[in-house]
Amino acid sequence: MKRTALMLSLLAFSSVPALSWNGFGHMEVAAVAWDRLSDKPQIQARITQLLMLNPLYDSWTKDVPDDIRAKVGLMRAATWPDIIKGDGQHVEDGAPMNRN
């Protein structure tokens, strides 16, 4: 019993932290979502149309080949939660954003 508890403790403390909710994880989820919509080009087109309204869209898709530009745009847009975490304009408690 003690040996099992020790082994479980060692396993728990030596495990690698999950990287699923950083920018890379968000982009992976967006890529899967895009691929799942491959049979719905009208939805993909609408997503792209909306994303293109973002002033950062051109920088997100600069030098990206045309055939994957829309997918990459969604993937880069999915990192928005990670971008705002450290921008000083957004807070966790729901208080208004600092608009300078």
**How do residues 54-84 score in pLDDT, each as one tens digit?**
988 999 999 999 999 999 999 999 998 777 7
Q: Is 70 exposed, middle or buried (0-12, 13-18, 19+ CB in 10 A)?
A: buried
Domains in the chain: boundaries:
40-89
Q: Which of 72, 93, 96, 92 is nearest to 81 (CA)?
A: 92
pLDDT band at 94 (very low <50, low <70, confident <90, very high): low
pTM of this prediction?
A: 0.67
Q: What b/e string do you get for 14-35 counting C-beta neighbours within 10 Å, with b at 16 or more?
A: eeeeeeeeebeebbeebbeebe
In angstroms, the CA 87 to CA 44 distance is 29
* CA gap 57, 77 in Å, rounded: 8
- Supply the pLDDT for residue 100: 47
